[in-house]
Chains A and B, each alone.
Chain A
Amino acid sequence: MGVSVDNSSSPSPKKVHQIDETTLGITWTDGMESKINVKTLREKCPCAHCVDEWTGERRIKEGQIPDTIRPTKLQNVGLYAIQIFWNDGHDTGLYSHEYLRGLGEEA
């Protein structure tokens, strides 16, 4: 019998939760805890509106995102990403687990 693939090599969110009004918490399958500020999260939106598809240049200018920015809803996309709906109407960003993990480590 063949060995099975180790699909757990890259960690996944075990629990996604709200810490306070401006902080998203993620508990990862490997035990790490991430705390991410929601404004940072919005500024780092990886979608094609916010990052130029060809040059990779960030289109969100500093100070453009107001302090009042809040998510309205978060949900999973398949097994690999999280979609965030924002109170400014933006919802096209799919944050892959890998990307979120990187954001959490920066903090």
Chain B
Amino acid sequence: MTDQALENKIIEALKTVMDPDLHKNIVSLGFVKNIKIDSGKVSFDVELTTPACPVKEQLKRECEEKVGTIDGVNAVEVNMTAQVRASEHNQPILTGVKNIIAVASGKGGVGKSTVSTNLAIALSQTGAKVGIMDADIYGPSIPKMLGIPITPPKSSTENRFFPHENHGMKVVSAAFLTKEGQPLMLRGPMLGGIIQQFLTNVEWGDLDYLVIDLPPGTGDVQLTLTQRAPLSGGVIVTTPQEVSLIDAEKGVKMFQQVKVPVLGVVENMSYFIPPDAPDKKYFIFKQGGGKKLAEQFDAPFLGEIPIEGEVVEGGDSGMPVTLSHPDSAASKAYKALAGQVAAQISINQAKSEKSDASFELAWKS
């Protein structure tokens, strides 16, 4: 068989490999690249839309199996790569940022900042370039969680400034704009001003994902962000008990009202794993609330994150659990969360109706 005929057979075989999220085969999705054949040895790249793809290994195995059984192939090498696709918008802000994920909760105290931080780390651990915007102006806690000392940001040209960096991620936070321990006391309009600066004056560089940790509730900051920032989607954090769910519901409705796609609901503090009995789960705050909320809004349920001593310790020591204990149950839950979030963004991009999301029309008279 000629190499060309063999290549055709390989492509035919790969056309039977489906992406389970996008419901199309990987050839028509344009994922298959650089097919090389050298006397029966076959290699090719599969370029996914996110390095955080939850089914990466499964796809790789399927490619190897299907191509491996073709006559004339005696070795298969599949290179899994990823090129994160940008959510479409042409707003002149955050131009190097491909996807923006807003993390919200209706209620304070559900661990939103912990979830944002660990979600960002889990995304970056897959190889993606990630930044965090701490938009919780009144109670900024991301710098503490990531172990970044409070110093003023390094300035760039024309009022612009550089984000702080740690653990391979870029970070902006209102905490850097004050002296440590000093509260920021601001009226509404000032809040919008700070957020506007975070959107327009930060040298983010190129990012695959920007995670925005929103303040709790549905106020000024949320409005400014949804009006100005081209958000790819929102993640709602809740805890299992009803008081939290009532407010989380408002968070979901907020996103729906401003037409930001709801990527899903994640339930934090789902159960407690005692350190002396790691096989046990204590459901302290009831069970299944997050899942129910997701079902109610027909939104994906992104998982349950357990309470473990390491999570708390990680937040206080500047070494989040996903970095300090990557094999813990919580870290695994975060890894799954990152995969789900990235997958949902890819799904939305694949089916998004080309709407005139971003335009300016000058009236002729």
Instruction: Name the interface residues of A71-107: CB closer than 8 Å to any CB of B.
Output: 71-81, 97
Main secondary structure of the interface of B (DSSP, over half): loop
Q: Binary interface profile of B, 201-242, with partner A (CB < 8 Å = 1, else 0)?
A: 000000000000000000000000011111100000000000
A1, B226: Cβ atoms closer than 8 Å: no
A14, B353: Cβ atoms closer than 8 Å: yes
B355 within 8 A of A: yes
Main secondary structure of the interface of A (DSSP, over half): mixed
- Name the residue of chain A whose CB is nearest to the CB of B300: A2
* A72 CA / B365 CA spacing, docked (Å): 9
Q: Binary interface profile of B, 69-97, with partner A (CB < 8 Å = 1, else 0)?
A: 00000000000000000000000000000
B185 within 8 A of A: no
Residue in contact with A79 in the complex, picked from B297, B298, B301, B357, CB distance below 8 Å: B357
* A78 CA / B360 CA spacing, docked (Å): 12
B331 within 8 A of A: no
The count of A-to-B residue pairs whose CB atoms sit within 8 angstroms is: 104
* A27 CA / B362 CA spacing, docked (Å): 17
Interface stretch among B59-67, B272-280, B339-347? B339-347
> Hey, which chain A residues are within 8 Å of B227, CB to CB?
77-78, 81
A73, B363: Cβ atoms closer than 8 Å: yes
B260, A79: Cβ atoms closer than 8 Å: yes
Closest CB of chain B to A48's CB: distance in Å? Answer: 14
Closest CB of chain A to B176's CB: distance in Å? Answer: 26
Interface set of A (CB-CB < 8 Å, partner B): 1-8, 10, 12-18, 21, 29, 70-81, 97
Enumerate the 6 nearest inter-chain pairs by beta-carbon distance, A residue then B residue, closest first.
Answer: A2-B300, A80-B259, A79-B259, A12-B355, A71-B363, A80-B258
